[in-house]
Chains A and B, each alone.
Chain A
Amino acid sequence: MTISPWTILYAVLTLGVLGGAFGGVLAVASRIFAVERDPRIEEIQSTLPGANCGGCGFAGCASCAEAIASGAAPVNACPVCSGEQTTAIAAIMGVEVTPAERRVAFVRCAGGSRAGRKYDYIGLADCQAAVKIAGNGPLECAYGCLGFGSCVKACKFDALHINALGAAEVDRDKCTLCRQCMDACPRHLIIDIPYAADVVVPCASLDKGAAAKNNCAASCIACKLCEKNCPQDAIHVIDNVAVIDYTKCTSCGTCVAKCPRKVLLDIHEDGKVAPVAQAGD
């Protein structure tokens, strides 16, 4: 069969007419169905980090930008943005902003291998899975870090790691306080503290003294020596565990020196969370 030039011409014409018709329809439709978008949304979105971490509480950076532009969220809604970026967003929105004090995540447990075990856990290497089995997980302590790294997996900024002792630890310089780890921890051990905080309490055990002591070699036994000796009234034992009020704490280190369990730590003096001698053995 030979193809006549007319067939080719008709084919070109048909496709051309169809294409032209659809193009025309789309051109008209784009006018009719045009949705006005705030141009600031694009600008804000390009300033945001783009990690879509969800730390702001919105579905991602795009929805956060939309919320900021519409006024539903403050200009500093993004917890990951540095002061510069927040200022840039504020400039787009035409408002002034005072940079907030930087805060970082902190794991309230440094027990790791120092915490007693009820049984050997062999299963999914995931904290959420481990706490769901009998006895609320393999640790004697019902409040301790399980060390399977659910928070490490949740961290998009490589700021969380399981340390040599087997407990999760935050790298303050990398932490952006996106709060993903806080949601990932089944024991809700991760809180936010000031970036500049020197003294920390890496224990969250609500057990009473004897039980806390038996469960873990690195536990707060609520002896209240820190509370009694604090010159600033900045540390209190609440529900059997020491809690620091960082608005009052001057990092004098008195409590660190007095703590008989060496639970209270001055991270700038001790460096990393240091292992203490196993109590009793």
Chain B
Amino acid sequence: MDWKNLLTIALGAILVNNFILVQFLGCCPFLGVSKKMDTAVGMGFAVIFVMGLASALCYPVNLLLESLDMEFMQTVTFILVIAALVQFVEMFLQKTIPSLYEALGVYLPLITTNCAVLGVVLLNVQEHYNFIESVVYGVTGGVGFLLAIVLFASVRERIALVSEIPKCFEGFPIALITAGLMALAFGGFSGLDIWR
């Protein structure tokens, strides 16, 4: 394991295999909380936080499952682990770091069983990442989410100001078209091969 490998994982998670725009995981918060820039940023940081923590905690849990020969239980166990983890972290933050708790606010419980969070831990298992690789993949996957949702929110804020959108495209239709165009743009990163 060297830093090049980690850089490969990081760049891959942020750009090439962006969780939202390439793998289409976590589309619900991507569309739901991207109307305003500040909520989008709050959501993005909460996702980074939870995805990093979930990757770290699910690694030993997966080892436990493998030692018991019960890999088929991964999905349901990971959901349980992530839900419990988020609940615990929320209580912990409220008591010890109220300012961070306020900053993450409602977004922390919102992404408890988000498919991007579940996706990252399942992908960690699938790719046979070790502990450090898993955490890097989790955090940078969250960074990719933040990048995508911030770009999307800025486009949507702009669209909301311009009133010359046909009536039938107002709101979600134009947002979905925007998301589709952004996904096409991110498709361009698939040619990126600096780490070869």
* Interface positions of A (Cβ within 8 A of B): 7, 10-11, 14-15, 18-19, 22-23, 25-26, 29-30, 32-35, 124-126, 129
* CB-based contact B73/A11 at 8 Å: yes
User: Chain B's nearest CB lies how many Å from the CB of A169?
Assistant: 22
* CB-based contact A33/B95 at 8 Å: yes
* CB-based contact A29/B70 at 8 Å: no
Most buried by B among A19, A23, A33: A33
Q: How far does the alpha carbon of A32 sit from the alpha carbon of B65 in the complex, in Å?
A: 30
* Interface positions of B (Cβ within 8 A of A): 61, 65, 68, 70, 72-73, 76-77, 80-81, 84, 87-88, 91-92, 94-96, 161-163
Known: A26-B84, A26-B87, A124-B161. A18 touches B77 (CB 8 A): yes
* 20 interchain pairs, CB-CB under 8 A: A7-B70, A11-B70, A11-B72, A11-B73, A14-B68, A15-B80, A18-B80, A22-B81, A25-B88, A26-B87, A29-B88, A33-B91, A33-B94, A33-B95, A34-B95, A35-B94, A124-B161, A124-B162, A125-B163, A126-B161
User: Chain A's nearest CB lies how many Å from the CB of B29?
Assistant: 20
With a cutoff of 8 Å between Cβ atoms, the chain A residues found around residue B91 in the complex are 26, 29-30, 33
User: Chain A's nearest CB lies how many Å from the CB of B170?
Assistant: 15
With a cutoff of 8 Å between Cβ atoms, the chain B residues found around residue A22 in the complex are 80-81, 84
The A/B interface has a contact count, at CB < 8 Å, of: 49
With a cutoff of 8 Å between Cβ atoms, the chain A residues found around residue B84 in the complex are 22-23, 25-26
Chain A residue at minimal CB-CB distance from B76: A15
| A-B contacts besides A7-B70, A22-B81, 19 pairs, CB < 8 Å | A10-B68, A14-B65, A14-B68, A14-B70, A15-B73, A18-B61, A18-B80, A22-B80, A25-B84, A25-B88, A26-B84, A29-B88, A29-B91, A29-B92, A33-B92, A33-B94, A33-B95, A35-B95, A126-B161
Which of A26, A35, A124, A129 interacts with B88 by CB under 8 Å?
Answer: A26
User: Chain A's nearest CB lies how many Å from the CB of B96?
Assistant: 8
User: Chain A's nearest CB lies how many Å from the CB of B188?
Assistant: 31
Q: How far does the alpha carbon of A6 sit from the alpha carbon of B91 in the complex, in Å?
A: 37
Q: How far does the alpha carbon of A15 sit from the alpha carbon of B74 in the complex, in Å?
A: 10
